[in-house]
Amino acid sequence: MSDAMHNAARYAAQRAAGEVPSTQSEATRPPVSLNAENKSAFVENAIQQAIRRGEFDDLPGAGKPLEGLGTHHDPDWWIRRKIETEKLTGLGPPALSLRTENLELDARLDLEPSEALVREIVDDFNRRVIEARRQLQGGPPVVTPTRDVDAEVRAWRERRIARAERAQQAEAAGRTPPQRRRPWFRR
């Protein structure tokens, strides 16, 4: 805040508090103590001056409702917003992360080149589901089913054969099938 604005706000606060504003210089005048009565007047005056100068014009979100207003109170609102904005995964209760992993497991298995790796991944998934069911730390219940390893290997083989047949048909038709790239990282 500039000196002129500060002086004007102090002048208005003194007048609102019933004091007689002095015309002494800043160096000779004792500092004004802000109390509950003149502090609100000082703040209100500063806000009104900022409005007149247009400092509140064109703010982001102008004219839009406040996000999350009127919903239930959540003490962890900030962490939830951070997870959503950063698109973080693997956080939260095991029940929820296992549900999402269960939905994405077939696609993950399709990327694996060997049956041994498929078995290893399904065994690890089943172990974590059983482990999450045994924990008594609270949170949502674990409703994710375990997967039958042999059935998953059979389904993986069938999907792999179907992909190979589609690739052969596409090659025979003179076009190349889209290549699925393996991610550079593995979970």
Question: How far lies 97's CA from each of 75, 81, 125, 141, 172, in Å?
Answer: 21, 17, 11, 12, 42
Amino acid at 68: G
Cα 101 to Cα 73: distance, rounded to the nearest angstrom: 29
pLDDT at residue 25 tops 80 = no
Q: What would the two tokens of residue 20 be?
A: 């007689």
What pLDDT score does 30 carry?
62
Range list of H helices, the chain: 3-16, 36-53, 77-86, 94-110, 115-134, 149-172
Q: What is the per-residue burial (b if ≥16 Cβ within 10 Å, else e) of 124-155?
A: ebbebbeebbeeeeeeeebebeebebeebbeb
Tell me the pLDDT tens digit for each residue of 43-100: 888 999 999 998 888 888 888 887 767 667 777 777 778 878 887 776 777 888 888 8
What pLDDT score does 7 carry?
80
Among 88, 97, 147, smallest CA distance to 123 is for 147
- The position carrying tokens 């069911």 is 133
Tell me the pLDDT tens digit for each residue of 153-183: 999 999 999 999 988 888 888 765 566 666 6
Cα 28 to Cα 13: distance, rounded to the nearest angstrom: 19
Amino acid at 42: F
Q: With 0.85 as the threshold, say if the pTM is over it.
A: no
Cα 12 to Cα 9: distance, rounded to the nearest angstrom: 5
Among 99, 179, 112, smallest CA distance to 140 is for 99
What pLDDT score does 149 carry?
94
What pLDDT score does 84 carry?
80
Percent of all residues in the chain with a pLDDT value above 90, rounded to a whole number? 29
